[in-house]
Structure 1
């Protein structure tokens, strides 16, 4: 009887998600579930798919719901590739059709998955001593008491109200070779790039929402006219009510690229408001605004490296963070190439370096976690 009740609850929750009627907590339950499936689960879903449900029809419906969930207003950004995997569609189809008690248990599970990020593997080419796999979805959360927990699923950990400390912040740390998606208490979604930290309260205040960022993040801020959303990043404050934008705060200079809505940038008494398609960069004593290359500035969030033809130093920094490597003899590279294009961040390091070799006319070798520019 309990199994049947759990099955009904699971089915109802998935239907609510597809209809866009889930609360923030319920949405996190669904996210928690379909990012903890293993290979045997995926195969079981495929085998038990009911004959009266055609994959194209359900896949179309599910994809539409996922699009609305992540990008519910038109933007120039491509869809996230990790939200498009076939096994996820199969899993959701099976859940909607009634696969049940197991589903309910898995959605309540909090056990982290052990992951090896950017693992070293043997090279299949004589060009490289070894190869390195791409990074993945991983972070750790640090509680106000200093306790650490590994998180291998791209959504924020659900907090236990009984153990929360009022007025204190949690911190999510994303290491080299990692990315992570956080859903905050107000429904704001934040995609964190490698080597990034985000500090946030479990519950926002009644008159404002405030977080602290170092590194790079793509924000889709939930609209709330009564509570402005503020990001503190290396001495710069970014204030919005509800909008979508990318913030690069790896260095002292903070760049904000606006996708939609409007954003106010404040730095040491100076402030400016930018419009969609613009980028604001805060310098020591100034805020510079120019047209933003959104294709380039948000490439990481689409799981791509983007070659713009004139800034290979920036590209090597991105590669170093994503594969957890160090470049040697980087000064040998020249920025005179006009090569433009992109390559998936799901590629092995050797594949990325082969493209970089074509673009720069240089040769590369991988030895352990060192990349030698020849």
Structure 2
């Protein structure tokens, strides 16, 4: 528990300060802790007063707490083995450790009401398998995890709907270059797709993919929005091309993720090689590299690609990301809104790794435990306060 460890560290710093044996840098550590919260300063003053009182303070703790009594018994055993100077050190350190440890529960009682998430409307549930499939003739089918059926598109391509997956197979005998299907995943949804060439695709919440019922010609071209992960079946004679806004991602056979929710388009390469094109600008990515089109030029950096695609494994993973990015991602998955009492809260950074099928309260609770922000859910909106 980080909170407990930190308070124990502070306890030893206070004890050493009182004895005049502080080590380098400890005074700065103590000053930072005191400035964090007025209650820290109050605790510190109370501890100083008790330490000055010496033996009377020790006996009060001894009489009032069985834990202190146990500490005193241990201290008496130590007195037989150590010098008087170390006895004094352990005595003061034990007092401070005990008081700050008890203080943890004081703070918990004081702060819990501020960080509890209140759900005052219908429960907010995690997303799941749901999508809309638009066929080449304009018909629309609402899909979810429970639907299982098989049908043929015009031209003979077999289409099957299984648990959260649309799968195409067979050979399209019709000459229908303009025959496209579109899979659209709403907020709070996810779905997978297997194209007739064997390419496997995962669509995240609020995403879409437009693709031909059958690939023809010398390239395999699809269009996407939102966030999509591709495992492209290799075909040297027909490169796979993903259109996203005004940019192309061109591959032969590889695994990569494209995110295009905000202003930037971010491509993360897991395996193989991809070339990103936008007008005259272009870059080529190798595994564990990420290319971002920021509206003006491409930027490239090294990343842990597997971490970037954990969403398709059902995991939220954020590493020192802005709160705005974290909550926008959660809002799409849980289909809720977000309101910031202070826009500056968007820029606070947090790290979180948790299954995204968990209750939203549990996920927000992890962030709230830092005592830097607190949340309230009301009318399907996450309200964020300092």
TM-score (norm 1): 0.62
Residue aligned with 1:315, SS: helix
Find the counterpart in structure 2 of residue 303 from structure 1. Answer: 314
Query: Whose helix fraction is larger, Structure 1's or Structure 2's?
Result: 2
- Measured in 2, the distance between the counterparts of 1:242 and 1:295 equals 18
Identify which of 339, 345, 349 aligns with 1:333.
345
Find the counterpart in structure 2 of residue 258 from structure 1. Answer: 269
- Name stretches of at least 5 consecutive residues in structure 1 with no aligned partner: 1-124
Question: Which portions of structure 1, spanning 4 or more consecutive aligned residues, are displaced by more than 3 angstroms?
Answer: 157-166, 334-337
CA displacement at 1:306 relative to structure 2? 1.6
Q: Which moved more, 1:164-173 or 1:201-210?
A: 164-173
CA displacement at 1:162 relative to structure 2? 9.0
- Name stretches of at least 5 consecutive residues in structure 2 with no aligned partner: 1-115, 145-162
- Measured in 1, the distance between the counterparts of 2:328 and 2:372 equals 18
- Measured in 1, the distance between the counterparts of 2:187 and 2:174 equals 30
Structure 2 residue 187 is the aligned partner of structure 1 residue 176: yes
Residue aligned with 1:276, SS: coil
Identify which of 200, 203, 208 aligns with 1:192.
203
Structure 2 residue 221 is the aligned partner of structure 1 residue 210: yes
- Measured in 1, the distance between the counterparts of 2:175 and 2:375 equals 49
Q: Which moved more, 1:131-140 or 1:220-229?
A: 131-140
Identify which of 268, 281, 297 aligns with 2:292.
281
Identify which of 158, 165, 168 aligns with 1:155.
165
1:69-148 matched pairs, under 5 angstroms: 127-130=118-121, 131-148=123-140
Question: What whole-Å deviation, never above 9, does each CA across 1:231-285 have from its counterpart, x for those lacking one?
Answer: 0001110000000011001134211000010000001111111100100111223
CA contact (8 A) 1:218 1:247 kept: yes
- Measured in 1, the distance between the counterparts of 2:282 and 2:242 equals 14
CA displacement at 1:159 relative to structure 2? 8.0
- Measured in 2, the distance between the counterparts of 1:310 and 1:195 equals 21
- Measured in 1, the distance between the counterparts of 2:273 and 2:336 equals 37
Residue aligned with 2:218, SS: coil
CA displacement at 1:371 relative to structure 2? 1.2
Q: CA RMSD in A?
A: 2.3
Residue aligned with 2:201, SS: strand
CA 1:163–1:362 in 2, change beyond 3 Å: closer, same or farther?
A: farther
CA displacement at 1:144 relative to structure 2? 2.5
CA contact (8 A) 1:220 1:245 kept: yes
CA contact (8 A) 2:270 2:306 kept: no
- Measured in 1, the distance between the counterparts of 2:333 and 2:264 equals 21
